[in-house]
């Protein structure tokens, strides 16, 4: 991308909170995951597109 995204201050505390979050925390909204869900959705969409492209090339 070539665009500086900035630094994440206190990243250790974010990582600790993520690793300590339980399924219940996610289910009841105590641990908010909307941004993580957005990243995972984009990753899934990209992987599906790449897979489709490979299958199309192989079927020629």
pLDDT digits (tens, 9 = 90+) for 13-52: 999 999 999 999 999 999 999 999 999 999 999 999 999 9
Q: Hey, where are the domains in the chain?
A: 28-60
Per-residue pLDDT band at 7 (split at 50, 70, 90): confident
CA distance 37 to 52: 22
Q: What pLDDT shows up at residue 1?
A: 65
Do 31 and 17 meet the contact criterion of CB atoms below 8 Å apart? yes
Q: What's the pLDDT at 3?
A: 86
The number of CA neighbours under 13 Å toward the Cβ of 45 is: 6
């Amino acid at each position: 991308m070539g665009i500086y995204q900035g630094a994440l201050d206190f990243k250790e505390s974010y990582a600790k909170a993520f690793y300590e979050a339980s399924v219940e925390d996610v289910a009841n909204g105590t641990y908010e995951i909307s941004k993580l869900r957005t990243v995972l959705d984009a990753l899934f969409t990209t992987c599906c597109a790449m897979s489709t492209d490979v299958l199309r090339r192989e079927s020629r």
